[in-house]
Chain A
Amino acid sequence: MELVVRDLGVARGGVPVLDGVGFALAPGRALVLRGPNGVGKTTLLRTVAGLQPALAGTISGGGERIAYAGHSDGLKAMLSVRENLTFWAQVFGQSDIAPAIQGFGLTGLEDRMAGTLSAGQKRRLGLARLGVTGRPVWVLDEPTVSLDTASVALFAQAVRQHLASGGSALMATHIDLGLDEAEVLDLTPFRAKPRAAVQDEAFL
């Protein structure tokens, strides 16, 4: 089942930012969203993840199949790495966290409090959470922030493995991950036209 987005319009803070976005994401494929700051990448991803309603258009194949990872990792500083991951695994009805810990190079850190990890390690833990959701469509917002080159390679490897097992990934990133399966979608042409009426109202 593929994720299909048609004619999607999204708004941030009530102001339309994107209009008429459409794409299809088949299993085993990745789609990288590009565009300058403020174009609406995060807003689009949050809409696809179901965190906010769309202004227009349809999204099919999303909902319960999506694992979302935003700017913040959703980690608790006073829980250990293992406790953090186990919690999310239980929420998503999974039990095995070992592959996620190995896949993101967290071996040996299991009993450290998440609050004592470095920024890059926290990010890796946040991404490892995707592995314990068991969901096929990863929606990732700037997943490589604060990762070093080696960790980016680890992450690319994890994405590749996920794609190979029939999953798909939709991500906003500025770094080239070297994924053969990835297509690039530039969001700049989909910018919503500023509506004159909105500005007029503001001046009244």
Chain B
Amino acid sequence: MIALLKRDMALAVRAGGGFGLGLAFFLIVVTLVPFGIGPESDLLSRVAAGVLWIGALLACLLSLDRIFALDWEDGTLDLLATSPLPLEGAVTVKALAHWLTTALPLVLVSPALGLLLNLPAGGYLWVPVSLALGTPALSVIGTFGAALTVGLKRGGLLLSLLVLPLYVPTLIFGAEVARRGVDGLELQAPLLMLAGISFGTLALLPFASAAVLRVNLR
């Protein structure tokens, strides 16, 4: 499993791996927002936390179809399915690799992008914290969507349509944590819900992803 994680990380940072694509997309979305809604700093600071969350969510979505598509095309997925690695484990490792290469950079860069949106002081802690807690759910749910659409031509758009509605609870509670953090309000309830969503999906969805992969490999 560690070998698979190391291989996926190595592939992501080599040419054509798409590392940094999500990061650049996040940066562009966040810089476009002030152009779109105007430069009033009051308005910007009110929407900053939500914009950062939506930007991070869309950036996560961008690289989902690569999770299985490339391994499917070159036959790696067939070989992995016949290897001693349990497919559930392989799926979890792939979700982890996606999180490490796509979501974690977004978490780390979010305070810097908060500056561009005039994020209020409380947000510099709670936006990254809520993203760090919520993005694992985005990766795991996305891996499930990628497993569902593997092998389909032009599966990327279908993948987005399938996955975005499933992202709604994570977005609601993640953005709520960030917003309450900004306003300095009590945030234990949404924080626990967000953690619950992340751990729940992490515990259950790999089994579903492995099952649909097996069906898709037939």
Interface residues of A, Cβ cutoff 8 Å to B: 46, 49-53, 64, 66-76, 78-79, 83, 86-88, 90-93, 129, 133
Query: Which of B41-49, B82-90, B168-176, B182-190 forms part of the interface with chain A?
Result: B82-90
Select which of B3, B11, B75, B84 is within 8 A of A74 by beta carbon.
Answer: B75
Show 16 residue pairs from A and B whose CB-CB distance is below 8 angstroms, ordered by the A residue.
A46-B78, A50-B81, A51-B78, A64-B84, A70-B75, A71-B75, A73-B74, A74-B74, A76-B7, A78-B15, A79-B11, A86-B3, A87-B4, A90-B2, A91-B3, A93-B84
Chain B 78-106 interface mask (CB, 8 Å, partner A; 1/0):
11111111000000000000000000000
Query: Smallest CB–CB gap between B71 and chain A, Å?
Result: 8
> Contact between A68 and B11 (Cβ–Cβ < 8 Å)?
no
> Contact between B17 and A78 (Cβ–Cβ < 8 Å)?
yes
Interface residues of B, Cβ cutoff 8 Å to A: 2-4, 7, 10-11, 14-17, 73-76, 78-85, 217-218
Alpha-carbon gap, A46 to B17, bound state (A): 30
Chain A residues with CB under 8 A of B75? 70-74
Chain B residues with CB under 8 A of A87? 3-4, 7
> Contact between A52 and B17 (Cβ–Cβ < 8 Å)?
no
Chain A residues with CB under 8 A of B2? 90
Query: Smallest CB–CB gap between B211 and chain A, Å?
Result: 13
Residue of B nearest to A51 (CB): B217
Name the residue among B2, B74, B85 with the largest chain A CB count within 10 angstroms. B74
> Contact between A51 and B85 (Cβ–Cβ < 8 Å)?
no
Chain A residues with CB under 8 A of B218? 51-53
Main secondary structure of the interface of B (DSSP, over half): helix
Chain A residues with CB under 8 A of B7? 76, 79, 83, 87
Chain B residues with CB under 8 A of A92? 83-84
Alpha-carbon gap, A51 to B75, bound state (A): 12
> Contact between B217 and A52 (Cβ–Cβ < 8 Å)?
yes
Query: Smallest CB–CB gap between A177 and chain B, Å?
Result: 22
Query: Smallest CB–CB gap between A202 and chain B, Å?
Result: 21
Chain A residues with CB under 8 A of B83? 88, 91-92, 133
Alpha-carbon gap, A194 to B139, bound state (A): 45
Residue of B nearest to A134 (CB): B84
> Contact between B82 and A66 (Cβ–Cβ < 8 Å)?
yes
Query: Smallest CB–CB gap between A77 and chain B, Å?
Result: 8
Chain B residues with CB under 8 A of A70? 75, 78-79
Query: Smallest CB–CB gap between A60 and chain B, Å?
Result: 17
> Contact between B81 and A74 (Cβ–Cβ < 8 Å)?
no
Alpha-carbon gap, A67 to B78, bound state (A): 11
Chain A residues with CB under 8 A of B78? 46, 51, 68, 70, 72, 74
> Contact between A78 and B74 (Cβ–Cβ < 8 Å)?
no
> Contact between A91 and B84 (Cβ–Cβ < 8 Å)?
yes
Query: Smallest CB–CB gap between A167 and chain B, Å?
Result: 16
Given contacts A49-B82, A52-B217, A68-B82, contact A83 B74 (CB under 8 A): no
Query: Smallest CB–CB gap between B12 and chain A, Å?
Result: 10
Query: Smallest CB–CB gap between B67 and chain A, Å?
Result: 14
> Contact between B3 and A90 (Cβ–Cβ < 8 Å)?
yes
Alpha-carbon gap, A50 to B80, bound state (A): 12
